[in-house]
Amino acid sequence: MSKVALVTGGTRGIGAAISIALKAAGYTVAANYAGNDDAAAAFTAETGIKAYKWSVADYQACADGIAKVEADLGEISVLVNNAGITRDGMFHKMTPEKWNEVINTNLNGVFNMTHPIWSGMRNRKFGRVINISSINGQKGQAGQANYSAAKAGDIGLTRALAQEGARAGITVNAICPGYIGTEMVKAIDEDVLNKHILPLIPVGRLGEPDEIARCVVFLASDDAGFITGSTISANGGQYFT
């Protein structure tokens, strides 16, 4: 029986590419989503991957959603924490609401998803947790204090959990994408993209969602069993750590 993988934010953008790639690699995949029912329905119709709706910002909703996935598909062996939002604004104009909304989804959401699954992984002596952080969690970004803080927190959590999970056969790693050619990035004004973004990327192009997905598939595999607590920077050379 194939291993079960759960991808949060798994029906659109990078998450959709990850879900599809994991299915192609032989996993039974569940894709979580928060709000866009039409997109989720279209994704399931196209891929055959079942979508489950809940907010990762709500711990009990995560626990209940995970229980539903495991009842339907089996015990979760691979968790990809991909769900994330932005509420950008310069810090002097940032409201507590914008701060908390991003922290609750992008950082607390990783705890809310991983915590209910962790004990089962420990008991089975196997697990793969892959956290999708960001280049801006590594270097920071003006106008994204909330997002940068949350994504940096994801990296810290990755490193701590890697140490806790190692003896139990659980690896925990992070991937930090740079500018990836999702709908959101492609919607940026072309002049801004060509003058202010692409010149910062040494390879001279946006990344592709599939390129992030291939990193996930590797980290989820048995071949990556000796890799834990690591951060893969997939940013076209824009930032080195």
Q: Is-contact 50 70, C-beta < 8 A?
A: no
* Nearby residues of 122 by Cβ (< 8 Å), 6 or more positions away: 165, 168, 170
Return d(Cα 61, Cα 208) in angstroms, integer.
Answer: 31
Active site residue 147: yes
Amino acid at 9: G
Buried b (16+ CB within 10 A) or exposed e, 87-113: beeeeeebeeebbebbbbbbbbbbbbb
CA–CA gap between residue 205 and residue 194 (Å, rounded)? 10
- Stated as kind and residue range, the H or E segment containing 21 is helix 13-24
β-strand partners of 177: 234
Helix (H) or strand (E) holding 183, with range, is: helix 183-186
Instruction: Output b/e per residue, 205-227; b: 16+ Cβ within 10 A.
Output: ebbebebbbbbbbebbeeebeee
From the candidates 59, 147, 179, 239, which is the catalytic residue?
147
What positions carry a catalytic annotation? 147
